[in-house]
Structure 1
Amino acid sequence: MPEGSLARGAAAAVHVADVLVLGAGSAGCVIAARLSEDPATQVALIEAGPAAWRDPWIRIPAGFARLYASGKYDWRFHTEAEPGLEGRSIHWPRGKVVGGSGAVNGLVFLRGSPRDYDRWAQSGARGWGYDDVLPFFRRMERWAGEPSPERGTEGPIHASEARHTSPGAEAFVAAALAMGHKRVRDFNGAWHEGAGPMQMNVKGGFRSHSGDMFLRPARGRPNLRIMPERTILRLLFEGTRCTGALVQGPAGPERWEARRQVVLSAGAIGTPHLLMLSGIGDGAHLQSMGIETRLHAPGVGQNLQDHFLQRMRYRVKPCGTVNELVRGPMGKLRMAARYAFDRRGPMSIGAAEANLFARVLPGAEEPDMQYLFVNFTVTTYDQGPDPWPGFMFSACQCRPDSRGTITLRSPDPADKPVIRANYLEAASDRRLMVEGVKYARRLAAEAPLAALIEEELTPGPRVQSDEEILAKIRQDGGTVYHPCGTARMGEDSIAPVDRRLRLKGVEGLMVADASVMPLIPSSNIQPAALMIGERAAALLTAR
């Protein structure tokens, strides 16, 4: 709803809390739950999506594919036509539900390399090196594997290796070992290079996410208000201090005010969008949208990063792939019965069963590609599994050099922002992806994996030269769904957020979500987002 229509309509109902958290995603749920542990602190948590506490498709790990296809809890973002991908627009699903993207993603639970966080500190986010953030990673997790000083054992988020490993996943790991890789004991330990079963955020066969594990137990606290199905329109200010937010609620406009602190946790897309709608961003861009500039902050919406992938799809011999199991009612029934009996089998698995971190380019000092084994094949998730036995593994860049932007489409909060990922813009990304496909083919040719494979479907056997591989990547490649970095931490004048997560130039406003990451971690970003939530809560408590 345009802001002007609110001004002409009924007066907004006023609500007040000590701390106002805007966005109930992975980080926002952690922050609200942690702060509400102090009964003297009144906390309000605002979320655009519903509180789907009991939706079985959120709770069942394999339900992520159904959620993706239905778009039920999805903001339905899309990039603009991507020049590096032959003008294709890429669907960017983001969770619109209490729990955010952590409630609908593929449950891969990997922190990345410890060096990733040292690079954060080196880039200007002092105090965010690995030794600094490790206590917060440990605090939020309950690791079910072998004890380690790197892992937490008493946190709300349960993490474990996959409860089910298919013959294809076992062959994938064995093939990686045959290539000379080591079996990784813990991908979230001190070193992650090598292969092994995937780690997932699962508790007893059910998804373990911050909406369920942090927030749900806190619902009964009298000092915590969880307010779903409320769209945040813009931030409110008194001078240079952020005092709250204007919200469109189910019954009309609402004005939410914070006595002490506003925490913006709307995600890598929502956070820069809301900042710009509120007059914080590049002044020239805001002026072109007819928005008065409250704070010239040209770094807002810049530095957008995402992992890029190419799926290696294979038609295989019958070996228990999901493609085979879902082809008839009896297969589906057996799969459901096994899950109901002991919470195992394919329904207990999210997006991937096994994982490999590998050095692909000559001279690489640490892994530059990640390969995720998936026990089914799809052309798109909307269409479901292919009608033949198949599995695939995704070749994913660990640290892309290409950078994108988030900008406004209009001053209307109802209009989605303009997303330009600029995939493959950097020559280094193009080179790595081509070599990553060639490396994947070497992996597929190793025993025992080669004995299962009948045909490479994508990129396909006719695609051989570097030029042909790159052309196919431009046609087929896509996102790993990890946007971040659009309100990065740093000491330079362009970085919008300081190392204590405060928005520079504004009082009373903290930013705490994936947007503050200066550099994308080497793998899936959910644990890093949860860690940011833990650290934000600790910073606020210390204040």
Structure 2
Amino acid sequence: MFDYIIVGAGSAGCLLAERLSADPKTRVCLLEAGPPDRSALIHMPIGIALLSKSKTLNWAFDTEPQAALDNRRLFWPRGKTLGGSSSINAMVYIRGHRDDYDGWAEAADPIWSYENVLPLFKRMEANERFGNDEFHGGDGELHVSDLRTFNPLSGAFVEAGQEIQLPHIADFNGKTQAGVGRYQVTQRRGRRWSSARAFLSRAKGRPNLTILTGARATRVILEGRRAVGVTYSAGGRLADVRTNGGEVILSGGAVNSPHLLLLSGIGDAAELKAHGIPVVVDNPEVGKNLQDHLDITIMHESRDRTPIGVALSFIPRALAGILSYAFLGRGFLTSNVAESGGFMKSSPDRPRPNIQFHFLPTLLKDHGRELAFGYGYTLHVCDLLPRSRGRIGLKSSDPLDDPLIDPRYLSAPEDIQTMVAAVKLGRRILSAPSMAAYSRTELVPGAAVQTDADIVADIRRRAETIYHPVGTCRMGRDAGSVVDPALRVRGVQGLRVVDASIMPTLVAGNTNAPTMMIAERAAELILGKTRLASDASGSRPVSPPPKRDGTGAARDRRAADA
């Protein structure tokens, strides 16, 4: 019997397991469907290029056919190992925009405002460059560093952005976001620093923490309307793990957490009945509000061999890179591939950046599943603030079946307009002198794709996810939300959701760091170390979010990003 059962050892689950098991009197069980994180591809940063092919470390989901994307099914990689997606992602350390969190505060509670979550980001961070300053921490478990080896092309991209009058940003998590610069990464000494390395490694030896890998949760065990345990499948057999009156915490992510709620009878009654699942709580929003960053690439063939290439002529560099990595923790094998990037507005009238760039000094096709021979470079451009909303649902009542994933990309008409603008802005940067000097030709979209109609057709033909699904167990103060501001599932006792699925709205950036912050806040809430604004029983005060009506701090921030 356990005080806490955590389902999912990903970005949130690993941190939560460490925080809750820090008290030796508290018994914690952590369930993970995948294996331990022993693969060398996880810890060697450039291994990301091959992890998308793994059937063992990756859920490798596929979406439903997307009507706005030529009826294609899109590939959705999600981490399936200790560390979850933090073990297979590009390690980019971005928190999003301040206004994202002030929006959460309005939707839920002031504890989620930027002012009140910034200390959480700082507490868990050990930033190699900034240390302890206004925006960063230097003493936490999550190591954040500059890349130890930086491809010259990635520097040229930053220079090209400045040539079209974009400001250089030394810290995307500081005072302002709009501009171009080098990304910081979750690495230490040239190795990936996942949530498992940061948090779980220090907790693994605790006798009060039980970690079960290869254990796929199939349902939450409910007695009436109280969660008392979890049934899981391991080695082809079912087993139960139960609480002693404590809590079950779902940290499976934006896909798996709502799927498990549905399998357990918590969700849209009509959908549950259609699959023969008894209804425990009728909440139509479970699985709804799915948001993701849709992305399109611009790829160029290079004039020379500066990029990371797949070619016979690259073999000497590859051998030198292996030695440099093995003995010095340096070289191109330490690259996260997405080395630089930036944030822009799609039009001057936007209040803040709504486009993000990830620049790769290599050719990358089909999420790395298809070899791209030769030398070239790739620019990813994505819509940060999409209006389109999709859902996670049931394909069947079999808990071992994949969930239904329907993002409904571009179902909001304004999203395609943003994507077209993003392509044009990306092309402007790549046409600036510092980048043009490297280009032999644009491979895709290609010289023939010039009009808006051509660009729209190309987006529909090629656009893919950039791996940031959120929102499917929406947090809110309203009765219709899936979880309340303390992340408790409405209508059920002893059950919380702690992962990216609780985000009311998608952050304007990468989602790994925000997901860890959510777990940090959840740990405080669970342990009684903080309180909601509506709850006077806690001990730590919170500040109200700034007004978002064009006055005060919010206005000043918009001016800074103008």
TM-score scaled by structure 1? 0.95
Query: 2:527 maps to which residue?
Result: 541
Query: 2:537 maps to which residue?
Result: none
2:9 to 5, 24, 27: 24
Query: 1:65 maps to which residue?
Result: 49
Query: 1:81 maps to which residue?
Result: 65
Distance in 1 between residues matched to 2:312 and 2:295, nearest whole Å: 26
Per mean C-alpha deviation after superposition, the further-off stretch among 331-340 and 429-438 is 331-340
> Secondary structure at the residue paired with 2:210?
strand
2:31 to 21, 25, 46: 46
Query: 2:447 maps to which residue?
Result: 461
Q: Once the 2 structures are TM-superposed, how far is the Cα of residue 343 of structure 1 from its aligned partner?
A: 1.6
Query: 2:171 maps to which residue?
Result: 186
Query: 1:380 maps to which residue?
Result: 366
> Identity, % of aligned pairs?
39
2:340 to 345, 348, 354: 354
Aligned pairs for 1:130-141 within 5 A:
130-141=114-125
Aligned pairs for 1:71-150 within 5 A:
71-147=55-131, 148-150=133-135
Aligned partners of 1:376 and 1:392 also within 8 Å: yes
Q: Once the 2 structures are TM-superposed, how far is the Cα of residue 536 of structure 1 from its aligned partner?
A: 1.1
> Secondary structure at the residue paired with 2:248?
strand
Aligned partners of 1:36 and 1:223 also within 8 Å: yes
Distance in 2 between residues matched to 1:251 and 1:439, nearest whole Å: 51
Query: 1:12 maps to which residue?
Result: none
Distance in 2 between residues matched to 1:515 and 1:116, nearest whole Å: 15
Aligned partners of 1:108 and 1:351 also within 8 Å: no
> Secondary structure at the residue paired with 1:127?
helix
> Secondary structure at the residue paired with 1:222?
coil
Query: 1:501 maps to which residue?
Result: 487
Query: 1:367 maps to which residue?
Result: 353
> Secondary structure at the residue paired with 2:222?
strand
Query: 1:4 maps to which residue?
Result: none
Distance in 1 between residues matched to 2:505 and 2:186, nearest whole Å: 23
Per mean C-alpha deviation after superposition, the further-off stretch among 318-327 and 437-446 is 318-327
Let me know the Cα RMSD of the aligned residues: 1.4
CA deviation vs aligned residue, 1:324-354 (integer Å, no higher than 9, x gap):
5675532321221222232222211113010
Aligned partners of 2:130 and 2:138 also within 8 Å: no
Per mean C-alpha deviation after superposition, the further-off stretch among 252-261 and 432-441 is 252-261
Distance in 2 between residues matched to 1:354 and 1:134, nearest whole Å: 24
Aligned pairs for 1:239-254 within 5 A:
239-250=224-235, 252-254=237-239
CA deviation vs aligned residue, 1:274-329 (integer Å, no higher than 9, x gap):
00000000001111111111000111000001101110100111142111567553
In structure 2, the CA distance between the partners of 1:355 and 1:465, relative to structure 1 (3 Å rule), is same
Per mean C-alpha deviation after superposition, the further-off stretch among 486-495 and 290-299 is 486-495
Q: Once the 2 structures are TM-superposed, how far is the Cα of residue 493 of structure 1 from its aligned partner?
A: 2.6
Distance in 2 between residues matched to 1:504 and 1:117, nearest whole Å: 22
Query: 1:8 maps to which residue?
Result: none
Query: 1:451 maps to which residue?
Result: 437
> Secondary structure at the residue paired with 1:315?
strand
Query: 2:247 maps to which residue?
Result: 261
Q: Once the 2 structures are TM-superposed, how far is the Cα of residue 190 of structure 1 from its aligned partner?
A: 2.5
> Secondary structure at the residue paired with 1:442?
helix
> Secondary structure at the residue paired with 2:145?
strand
5+ residue gaps, structure 1, are 1-15
Query: 1:442 maps to which residue?
Result: 428
Query: Does 1:294 pair with 2:280?
Result: yes
Aligned partners of 1:305 and 1:484 also within 8 Å: yes
Letter in 2 for 1:335: G
Letter in 2 for 1:538: E
> Secondary structure at the residue paired with 1:168?
helix
Query: 1:171 maps to which residue?
Result: 156
Aligned partners of 1:167 and 1:319 also within 8 Å: no
Letter in 2 for 1:85: L
Query: 1:36 maps to which residue?
Result: 21
Distance in 2 between residues matched to 1:213 and 1:356, nearest whole Å: 26
Letter in 2 for 1:199: Q
Query: 2:200 maps to which residue?
Result: 215
Aligned pairs for 1:424-435 within 5 A:
424-435=410-421
CA deviation vs aligned residue, 1:104-129 (integer Å, no higher than 9, x gap):
11111111111111111123344211
Q: Once the 2 structures are TM-superposed, how far is the Cα of residue 431 of structure 1 from its aligned partner?
A: 0.2
1:334 to 298, 312, 320: 320
Per mean C-alpha deviation after superposition, the further-off stretch among 113-122 and 328-337 is 328-337
Per mean C-alpha deviation after superposition, the further-off stretch among 344-353 and 39-48 is 344-353
> Secondary structure at the residue paired with 1:191?
coil
Aligned residues: 527
Aligned partners of 2:160 and 2:434 also within 8 Å: yes
Aligned pairs for 1:374-413 within 5 A:
374-413=360-399
Distance in 2 between residues matched to 1:385 and 1:365, nearest whole Å: 40
Aligned partners of 1:327 and 1:387 also within 8 Å: no
Q: Once the 2 structures are TM-superposed, how far is the Cα of residue 253 of structure 1 from its aligned partner?
A: 2.2
Aligned partners of 2:67 and 2:408 also within 8 Å: yes
Q: Once the 2 structures are TM-superposed, how far is the Cα of residue 385 of structure 1 from its aligned partner?
A: 4.5
> Secondary structure at the residue paired with 2:45?
coil
> Secondary structure at the residue paired with 2:447?
coil
Distance in 1 between residues matched to 2:429 and 2:396, nearest whole Å: 47
Aligned partners of 1:323 and 1:385 also within 8 Å: no
Query: Does 1:476 pair with 2:431?
Result: no
5+ residue gaps, structure 2, are 530-562
> Secondary structure at the residue paired with 2:336?
coil
Distance in 2 between residues matched to 1:253 and 1:351, nearest whole Å: 40
> Secondary structure at the residue paired with 2:381?
strand
Q: Once the 2 structures are TM-superposed, how far is the Cα of residue 453 of structure 1 from its aligned partner?
A: 1.0
Aligned partners of 1:107 and 1:351 also within 8 Å: no
Distance in 1 between residues matched to 2:147 and 2:524, nearest whole Å: 31
